[in-house]
Amino acid sequence: MSIEMENPEVKLSGKDFASDQEVKWCPGCGDYSILKQVQSTLADIGVKREDTVFVSGIGCSSRFPYYMNTYGVHSLHGRATALASGLKTARPDLNTWIVTGDGDALSIGGNHLIHLLRRNLNVNILLFNNEIYGLTKGQYSPASPKGTITKSSPMGSLDHSFNPLALCLGADSTFIARSMDRDPKHLRAILAEANNHLGTSMVEIYQNCNVFNDGAFFTFTEKATKGNTTLQLKHGQPLIFGDNGDLGIKLDGFKPVVVALDESISPDDLWVHDESDQVKAGILTRFFDTPSAEMTLPRPFGVFYKESRSVYEEDVAIQINQAIKIKGEGDLNSLLAGANTWEVI
Amino acid sequence: MVETKEEKKTVTILFAGDSGDGMQLTGSQFTNTNALFGNDVSTFPDFPAEIRAPQGTIAGVSGFQLNFGSVDVFTPGDNADVLVAMNAAALKASLLKLKIGGTIIVNLSGFDKKNLRLAGFLNDENPLTDSSLGKYRVLEMDVTKLTRACLADTGMTVKHIDRSKNMFVLGVLYWMYNRKLDTTLDFFKVKFKGKQDLIDANTKVLTAGYYFGDTSEIFTSRYEVKPAPLSKGVYRNIMGNQATAIGLIAAVRKANLDLFYGSYPITPASDILHELAKHKNFGVKTYQAEDEIAAICAAIGASFGGHLGVTTSSGPGIALKGEALGYAAILELPLVVINVQRGGPSTGLPTKTEQSDLMQALYGRNGEAPIPVVAPCTPSDCFDVIYEAARIAIEHMTPVFFLSDGYIANGSEPWKFPVSTDLVPIKVKKLSAEGDDEKYRPYVRNDKLVRDWAIPGVKGLEHRIGGLEKENETGNVSYDPANHELMVKLRAKKVVNISDTIPDQNIEIGENSGKVLVLGWGSTFGASKTAVTELVKDGVEVSQAHVRYLNPLPKNLRDLISRFDKVLVPEINDGQFVKLIRDKYLVDAIPFNKIMGIPFSSQEIKEKVLEILG
């Protein structure tokens, strides 16, 4: 989402966005890092605390608003998106952030998520994806890969998992991006970009649950592996990855192919990332197999796609103004009287 | 030419036809004309859930009953004086509602072989030719044929011509009751604006019907129903759902707030959404949500943002909203929740009326989550009661239930409407002053135990609220045992305190004490009032009280009830309010129930009162 800022008189720091409440996530939880990056991003953006609202659902991540010294609503399981839609429609002026998890957004709240995306309200969604239910103590989530062993799936889960960003793109999301808890700089940059986008900004954040699903994303976050398993998307840049920047991605028709950069293949031959290309963004969201061997597709991070589309709450305001233009400002006495009256004398 | 005039105090007409025959339109036109003439009017549309049920069958019959009179009328009438039957199925489905000796106007072409068979008349059975209608006066006319002849030279297709046949019948009735055609002619001009051929065709058919009444020999007399002695003032006709919508707009105007209306379409509540969507020039934000849960959650979000959030549904949708209702109760934000009740459980009887969601409104949530409940008793009363619902929600920072039902939602009556300055002001307890940074406590209460409404955008009032139990005053999350009990009691007491702001319960009809009190709520009002009025006239010691505030109940209700030997509680359910009365006051209130998807007749209530008097 995007909000034009006035220059606040006093520049706030990240700490000014922290509430007086003790943070109660498990020690070592990825949420701590995300909280810190959000707080410092808000300070960098220069938004006022009183104009900012955090809305969450239920789950570990959804305790987030209590730790922010802004307005905040800890809503019902799955309903942060629904509640925020009403709030933003009523109050387009508020800088509105939704904090949700993979269970909250993709399972119990799946319906509201896709409808928010199609309406395209100007809000930011932070989807903390840890591929597990943490607050209920470790059941598989709709983002858990099939076969995940948990207390509720001792023989392995049987459910095919959601691909969150592919789902969002399918719902005509106007901004989708992925980041991770363990790359603060990247996360801050993506949060700022999300905030600048006019429309619903969907940011999936890989977040480590060190108690119930420790290391779920280590292959993408740890130094030893991340070079060959991750792809940093940059608008206008060729898709290059690998420890030594020696691997690239080409498109063979609609099929992405990993190629080694050598004398025969130069960066000019590679797929160049275009944030405005919805078809290619669709292909990027399908880079979803866990990279296991060399020459398999890496997991992309960064902004996959963004487009400019009208924003719901603005359309609401436009329609109200149109109605006033056509019918005039509503007059209560004429409304009460209606079209046909008669007098009893 | 006959010209005997018979004067009538009240007349009940039941229009019945196929759901595609336009009976609702015919009925509402006849209603508007009579209302503008000055009669008191009460209506009751009764239609199937299917949009176009199989043509010609009993399931597809759509009815519109109206009662109009030169005296006060409180119900759409127990039984009809006149039945208009557009086909055999309509006759079969509606005959029981006709008075013995009543008049049946039949459309002959609706009684051909096919129609008779579809209506279930077997082996060449035909009620028009056998003696089965001997107790009634039957007036036959071939409406279809006459309409076709009337429009033969217009070049219209038969299919289009047949759509106007209801106007022929309407014309006949206008002649029978000596009414002018003007209101309906004006209606054509608006309804068919830009389509002069349709205006002309309908005008022609309506007029032809009128002259048919005048010239054909089948009518032996005309009737005269003089204007009713309604109290002085300016009136309009209004339907319940319409009054509800207008009441919401009036309330936010008087409170100087914006209205956010989150709703998901459901019968019989959708007309409120339709009505509000017409009035965007009042700044109304209507939000057609993806489901019932989203509708209420969006409304709660809007209330957090400083709008009056309203959500509407019927029983099954309210069930889906249950979790969010408890949430609104613990947040302590204003929210109006409208339930236009229908027959249940589950999908039940979508287009039929019932009062069976009272317990759901009072108790249908997890945890201790009392919510105020109010209920209108007539179509126009929806305005006053929704206004009260909004007032209570805003002034007491609480969700409020408004329990209407299909009967009054779709029914209509003349309404001596107020002007803006007549309406009581609604005081908003919004905090606008900048608070002392870091120390704002959202759950500090005033002497009525109401907290402040701190709206985002105000510096210094930043705070977080949620569904977890909160510490008294600070609102911080708290699992402290004593604090939880305190908060539960505080929220309950806050709702009880609302009884200080509502009027005492009045006696509607009869003495302040006596043998029997007919104690009702909601849409049973008209039938009870008619019954008790007649009984009192006959010298029976009976009174009527009708409760509009169901939680909290009026403070004087205990005392009022105690002055009667017996309390009779008529309800369109299996006995819900009666349980509340027994629970609250330990009185042996007598339930009187009907669960047929249709309202009580006044006769039923009269007989029950006489029965318990012995």
Q: Please state the domain extents for chain B.
A: 4-224, 236-422, 429-501, 514-613
- Considering only CB atoms, which chain B residues are within 8 Å of A69? 438, 462
Of B260, B279, B290, the CB nearest to A112: B290
- Whether A76 and B282 lie within 8 Å, measured CB to CB: no
| Cis before B552? omega within 30 | yes
Q: What is the predicted pLDDT for the residue at A5?
A: 56
B300 CA to chain A: closest CA distance, Å? 7
pLDDT digits (tens, 9 = 90+) for B241-281: 999 999 999 999 999 999 999 999 999 999 999 999 999 99
Nearest to A61 by CA among A98, A90, A86, A93: A98
Nearest to A146 by CA among A154, A156, A134: A156
Positive or negative, the CA dihedral B68, B69, B73, B78 is negative
B residues 243..272 contacting A (CB < 8 A): 246, 249-250, 253, 258, 260, 262
Q: What percentage of chain A carries pLDDT values higher than 70?
A: 97
pLDDT digits (tens, 9 = 90+) for B50-62: 777 788 999 999 9
Question: Taking residues A287-308, what's their average pLDDT?
Answer: 89
Q: What is the predicted pLDDT for the residue at B300?
A: 98
Q: What percentage of chain A carries pLDDT values higher than 90?
A: 92
pLDDT above 70 for B368? yes
Q: What is the predicted pLDDT for the residue at B1?
A: 46
Residue A199 region by backbone torsions, left for phi larger than 0, else alpha for psi between -120 and 50, else beta: left
User: Counting every residue, how long is chain B?
Assistant: 614
Helix intervals (H) in A180-245? 184-196, 218-221, 223-229
- Whether B301 and A90 lie within 8 Å, measured CB to CB: yes
Alpha carbon distance A250, B155 (integer Å): 67
Q: What is the predicted pLDDT for the residue at B437?
A: 54
- Whether B238 and A341 lie within 8 Å, measured CB to CB: no
A194 CA to chain B: closest CA distance, Å? 22
Burial class (CB in 10 A: 0-12, 13-18, 19+), B273: buried
A58 CA to chain B: closest CA distance, Å? 10
Phi (first) and psi of residue B338, to 5 degrees: -100, 125
Most B-contacting residue of A17, A340, A343 (CB-CB within 10 A), to test interface: A340
For B236-422, the fitting CATH number among 3.40.50.1360, 3.40.50.970, 3.40.630.10, 3.40.50.2000 is 3.40.50.970
Question: Taking residues B329-335, what's their average pLDDT?
Answer: 98
Q: What is the predicted pLDDT for the residue at B51?
A: 76
Residues A64/A56, Cβ–Cβ less than 8 Å: yes
- Whether B279 and A344 lie within 8 Å, measured CB to CB: no
Whether B323 contacts chain A with CB within 8 A: yes
In the chain, the amino acid numbered A258 is V
Nearest to B306 by CA among B461, B439, B422: B461
Q: What is the predicted pLDDT for the residue at B124?
A: 83
Most B-contacting residue of A21, A88, A335 (CB-CB within 10 A), to test interface: A335
DSSP assignment letter at A134: T
Q: What is the predicted pLDDT for the residue at B53?
A: 78
Question: Taking residues A24-28, what's their average pLDDT?
Answer: 95
Taking domain B4-224, whether its CATH number is 3.30.70.120 is answered by: no
Alpha carbon distance B551, B401 (integer Å): 9
Q: What is the predicted pLDDT for the residue at A88?
A: 98
pLDDT digits (tens, 9 = 90+) for B480-507: 999 999 999 999 999 999 999 999 999 9
Q: Where are the domains of chain A?
A: 1-216+310-345, 225-306
- Whether B280 and A323 lie within 8 Å, measured CB to CB: yes
Q: What is the predicted pLDDT for the residue at B433?
A: 67
Are domains B236-422 and B514-613 of this chain identical in fold?
A: yes
pLDDT above 90 for B196? yes
Q: What is the predicted pLDDT for the residue at B588?
A: 97
Q: What are the DSSP E strand ranges found in A63-184?
A: 71-74, 95-101, 124-129, 175-180
pTM of the model: 0.94
- Considering only CB atoms, which chain B residues are within 8 Å of A96? none
Question: Taking residues A175-195, what's their average pLDDT?
Answer: 98
pLDDT digits (tens, 9 = 90+) for A132-157: 999 999 999 999 999 999 999 999 99
Nearest to B544 by CA among B566, B565, B529: B529
CATH fold for domain B514-613 = Rossmann fold (3.40.50)
Which H/E stretch holds residue B142? none
What does the mean pLDDT of chain B come to?
94
Question: Taking residues B98-118, what's their average pLDDT?
Answer: 94
Report the CATH architecture of A1-216+310-345.
Answer: 3-Layer(aba) Sandwich (3.40)
Which residue is closest to B305 within chain A, CA to CA? Answer: A87
- CB neighbours of residue A199 within 10 Å: 23
Of A332, A335, A341, the CB nearest to B234: A341
Q: What is the predicted pLDDT for the residue at A139?
A: 96
Write b or e for each residue in B31-65: b if 16 or more Cβ atoms lie within 10 A of its Cβ, otherwise e.
Answer: bbbbbbbbbbbbbbbbbbeeeebeebbbebbbbbb
Q: What is the predicted pLDDT for the residue at A4?
A: 56
Which residue is closest to B300 within chain A, CA to CA? Answer: A83
Residue B17 region by backbone torsions, left for phi larger than 0, else alpha for psi between -120 and 50, else beta: beta
Alpha carbon distance B68, B413 (integer Å): 10
> Is ipTM > 0.90 here?
yes
A96 CA to chain B: closest CA distance, Å? 11
